[in-house]
Structure 1
Amino acid sequence: MTKLIIEGGRPLRGSFTASGNKNAALPMLAASLLTSEPVTLHNVPAIRDVQVMMNLLEAYGVAIERAGSSVTLTAASLSSRIPDPELFSKVRASILVAGPLAARTGKAELHPPGGDVIGRRRIDTHIEGLARLGYRFSRDTKIRFSRKGPARGTSMLLDEASVTATENILMAATLAEGETVIYNAACEPHVQNLGELLIAMGAKISGLGTNRITVRGVRELHGAELAIGPDYVEVGSYMAAAFATGGRVRFKGLAGRPELDVIGKACTKLGATWKKTGQDLVVDGTRPREIVDDVGQAIPKLDDGIWPSFPSDLMSVAIVLATQCRGSMLFHEKLFESRMVFVDRLIEMGARIVQCDPHRVLVQGPCQLQGIAMSSPDIRAGIALLIAALCAEGTSVIHSAEVIDRGYERIDQQLAMLGAAIHREG
């Protein structure tokens, strides 16, 4: 178990280059199971969840070579053995092996997935979607999918726009006979990035970026090479840190990225804006920030939702940023009932926050936070508490820092290069 020790009160300054999108990397790694030929991915983030996923794929028989931020995966011969359940318990995205394994071999056997405990995260939509393609589901201590005869394309309406369910069904449908139409599909940038890889592998897919995706099945897929797009959640987290600490940071090569428009709208509500300079975005937090009232001087509200709404993964850092802005804002977390459990720590640090119910908090700023000792309950709460520590007066200690490492590459080193007083122990 590791901990981060932070001396707060130092504005972040310098340049930042985004890592590859974690939420794109995980399904794209799993997609290598669909072919016996090599699949090469570039800009793969060096984070714990990615390493766990690669360990899981190796346990299924995938040969993996890594060179810098590039990874080549070859699933020439798959093992019939089921990997250790501990691998599945470490990452929620382990469920993503189900679709490609079932499509390639006719069956998939795995242990229940783990990951962050931020609310009830069911797999019913995965089960129902794969069942529509012809796969039978059974469960005891393991999860099993199997089919008799070929999988067949069909039309289906997902009961929720689940990202991982969309990805699992999308991968399985590439090798199904006929046409599959997925209604109420997730359309996040990482779903699109996965679709781009599948197309490069020979899949016939249309409608990426919309909630209606059409897949025309093919007999087999081949190898491919593709770069993973920048992680907009990581970028949003560092932007929040720059704004909240009163710093100035240049984000390299991100001008014109459409996925950042959603973050920009939320930042504007918080009185925080950036400017384009060539191919870069410059965040300047040196000016005072004031929350912009809604029409009629109503208390402004920021709520999350499915894409292109504000992403739930950035709700925690937005709450911390609001503590450093003048004015009041209501935050409504609609997707996960345990996302806001970390606000108790912010209140302990001196934040003026009223928790209305498990899904809503009212924040009034600005306020001077004080350093405390705390623990990281999940990836996004962990980064939010870390940003709070950067703003705080005095020393903060964040235990279970390895939880943050699951989603953020070299977080202590990156922040230190931007001027933060931070070091790791353990």
Structure 2
Amino acid sequence: MSSFEVRGGKQLKGEIVPQGAKNEALQILSAVLLTAEPVTIANIPDILDVNLLIELLDEIGVKISRSNRHTCTFQADQIDADYLASDEFRKKGGRLRGSVMLAGPMLARFGKAYIPKPGGDKIGRRRLDTHIIGFEKLGARFEYDELHSCFKLSSPRLRGAYMLLDEPSVTGTANIIMAAVLAEGITTIYNAACEPYVQQLCQMLNRMGARIRGIGSNLLTIEGVSKLGGTTHRMLPDMIEIGSFIGLAAMTQSEITIKNAGVEHLGVIPEKFQQLGIQFQIKGDDIYIPSQDVYEIQTFMDGGILTIYDHPWPGFTPDLLSIVLVVATQARGSVLIHQKMFESRLFFTDKLIDMGAQIILCDPHRATVIGLGRKQNLRGITMTSPDIRAGQALLIAALSAEGKSIIQNIEQIDRGYQYIDERLRSLGADIKRVVS
């Protein structure tokens, strides 16, 4: 198990390019199973979760040709559909929540799919009901396969249907879309997620020959086709990384330029960091954050304390609430962070309190941060990364803190951020990876 040794308190400076979007990658890479023709994907993030999914695709029988670490051509013309029922797939797929995204394409093209118990972050219950109910409405049968100790979906032929999703699940919406594009007839999905990554998936599928209307809205209409062809696709920059870098610059009083940030796809993310008092300039597709001594949290117009909460797109993404929380610790003023979606995601605040932050954990979903206004620096401690996003937040805290911090279980950070230590060193950070 590896750890990061960080000596904080250094101002950083320079340019950084965000990686390809992790959350988009898990959908897009699964979609290559929908065709026997070659599909070339560019700007793939070189991170543990994505590489594990590519490894699973290889073992299913997908031919993979890498022109470089970030560009691959996939051809799914000789697939072993029963591999998903094997012990090997169950063990590997159980480590990666994104493995559930293989179910929609496999069910659509081969009439059967297997789902292991999902892995991923330990941030509370993450149910699959939306996926399964959607598949059942398309005509799939869902049962527990005792022989293979996993869930099985089967259908000789999917048929289009109307469905109102119980929640606008991003992965649920994407999985149902991938099943519906090859179903017979018309599928209507209401209360669909409309995140940029879902839009990217729909646009890619349409280039492959799918017929999807309503892209970017919460009402999708899909006319099933008999087969799909190949295409090329480039993933968006990772909006979570971009938000993390904005927060990093503010916390460390650094001058950083985020290059090729895909600004038009960031939604309300820039606005939320501005509400924390962080100044930046958008120059074309770049974001320039100047060194800033003090940043002050805004209040509501009536003087009430600012509340920042997660909400389905175009609301604020839950993946950045951990970053907003840690950035607020050195702001001037107070903010209430309301994490609605996951009941365990704020538990990492105990580590920030140990570092000297003033945080009141109201309950599993809400935390009030009283900003220190740089009157008192955070202090370095030894801590453990509980999940991808909290791990990155703790890393930002360590880079701004006085003294040495040790962050253990950094495999969680590596799951979502490629070469993060190397890229931060290029900005002047004092960070070292220690392999134990």
Shorter-chain TM-score category? over 0.9
Matched residue, 2:349 = 343
- Write out aligned runs for 1:161-200 (5 A): 161-200=168-207
Secondary structure of 1:81's aligned partner = helix
Matched residue, 2:109 = 104
One-letter code aligned to 2:377? Q
Q: Is the 8 Å Cα contact of residues 20 and 235 (structure 2) preserved in structure 1?
A: yes
Offset at residue 163 of structure 1 (A): 0.7
Secondary structure of 2:268's aligned partner = helix
Matched residue, 1:76 = 77
Matched residue, 1:237 = 244
- Write out aligned runs for 1:80-95 (5 A): 80-82=82-84, 83=86, 84=88, 85-95=90-100
Q: Is the 8 Å Cα contact of residues 132 and 156 (structure 1) preserved in structure 2?
A: yes
Secondary structure of 1:341's aligned partner = coil
Instruction: Confirm or deny that 1:216 pairs with 2:218.
Output: no
CA shift digits 1:294-349 (9 cap, x unpaired): 12221111111111111100000100100111011111001100110100000000
Q: Is the 8 Å Cα contact of residues 272 and 285 (structure 1) preserved in structure 2?
A: no
* Distance (Å, rounded) in 2 between the aligned partners of 1:24 and 1:32: 13
* Distance (Å, rounded) in 1 between the aligned partners of 2:122 and 2:196: 24
Secondary structure of 2:23's aligned partner = helix
One-letter code aligned to 2:399? L
What is the CA RMSD across the aligned residues, in angstroms?
1.1
* Distance (Å, rounded) in 2 between the aligned partners of 1:351 and 1:250: 27
Instruction: Confirm or deny that 1:376 pairs with 2:399.
Output: no
* Distance (Å, rounded) in 2 between the aligned partners of 1:105 and 1:133: 14
Matched residue, 1:142 = 150
* Distance (Å, rounded) in 2 between the aligned partners of 1:208 and 1:93: 22
Q: Is the 8 Å Cα contact of residues 27 and 194 (structure 1) preserved in structure 2?
A: yes
* Distance (Å, rounded) in 2 between the aligned partners of 1:316 and 1:292: 19
One-letter code aligned to 2:207? A
Instruction: Confirm or deny that 1:281 pairs with 2:283.
Output: no
Unaligned runs of 5+ in 2: none
* Distance (Å, rounded) in 2 between the aligned partners of 1:86 and 1:305: 33
Secondary structure of 1:266's aligned partner = helix
* Distance (Å, rounded) in 1 between the aligned partners of 2:285 and 2:270: 16
Matched residue, 2:233 = 226
* Distance (Å, rounded) in 2 between the aligned partners of 1:99 and 1:64: 20
Offset at residue 67 of structure 1 (A): 1.8
- Write out aligned runs for 1:319-338 (5 A): 319-338=325-344
Offset at residue 285 of structure 1 (A): 3.6
* Distance (Å, rounded) in 2 between the aligned partners of 1:226 and 1:249: 29
One-letter code aligned to 2:165? L
Q: Bigger shift: 76-85 or 15-24?
A: 76-85
* Distance (Å, rounded) in 1 between the aligned partners of 2:158 and 2:362: 48
Secondary structure of 2:14's aligned partner = strand
Offset at residue 86 of structure 1 (A): 2.0
Offset at residue 189 of structure 1 (A): 1.0
Secondary structure of 1:180's aligned partner = strand
* Distance (Å, rounded) in 2 between the aligned partners of 1:285 and 1:161: 38
One-letter code aligned to 1:330? L
Matched residue, 1:62 = 62
Offset at residue 15 of structure 1 (A): 0.3
CA shift digits 1:23-77 (9 cap, x unpaired): 1111110001111111110000100000010111112111111122101111111
Offset at residue 353 of structure 1 (A): 0.4
Q: Work out which of the residue numbers 354, 357, 367 in structure 1 matches 2:363.
A: 357
- Write out aligned runs for 1:40-51 (5 A): 40-51=40-51
Secondary structure of 2:370's aligned partner = strand
One-letter code aligned to 1:143? F
One-letter code aligned to 2:154? S
Q: Work out which of the residue numbers 405, 419, 429 in structure 2 matches 1:420.
A: 429
Q: Is the 8 Å Cα contact of residues 20 and 44 (structure 1) preserved in structure 2?
A: yes
One-letter code aligned to 2:92? L
Offset at residue 106 of structure 1 (A): 0.7
* Distance (Å, rounded) in 2 between the aligned partners of 1:286 and 1:97: 45
* Distance (Å, rounded) in 2 between the aligned partners of 1:330 and 1:109: 41
Offset at residue 8 of structure 1 (A): 0.3
Unaligned runs of 5+ in 1: none
One-letter code aligned to 2:339? E
* Distance (Å, rounded) in 1 between the aligned partners of 2:405 and 2:383: 8
Q: Is the 8 Å Cα contact of residues 64 and 71 (structure 1) preserved in structure 2?
A: yes
* Distance (Å, rounded) in 1 between the aligned partners of 2:164 and 2:267: 28
Q: Is the 8 Å Cα contact of residues 155 and 181 (structure 1) preserved in structure 2?
A: yes
Instruction: Confirm or deny that 1:290 pairs with 2:296.
Output: yes
* Distance (Å, rounded) in 2 between the aligned partners of 1:273 and 1:261: 17
* Distance (Å, rounded) in 2 between the aligned partners of 1:147 and 1:252: 46
Secondary structure of 2:347's aligned partner = helix
Q: Is the 8 Å Cα contact of residues 240 and 317 (structure 1) preserved in structure 2?
A: yes
CA shift digits 1:329-381 (9 cap, x unpaired): 11100110011010000000000000111100110112411000011110001
Matched residue, 2:14 = 14
Secondary structure of 1:306's aligned partner = coil
- Write out aligned runs for 1:114-125 (5 A): 114-125=119-130
Q: Is the 8 Å Cα contact of residues 245 and 258 (structure 2) preserved in structure 1?
A: no
Q: Is the 8 Å Cα contact of residues 264 and 273 (structure 1) preserved in structure 2?
A: no
Offset at residue 287 of structure 1 (A): 3.6
Secondary structure of 1:56's aligned partner = helix
Q: Is the 8 Å Cα contact of residues 267 and 314 (structure 2) preserved in structure 1?
A: no
Matched residue, 1:201 = 208
CA shift digits 1:390-412 (9 cap, x unpaired): 01000000011111000001010
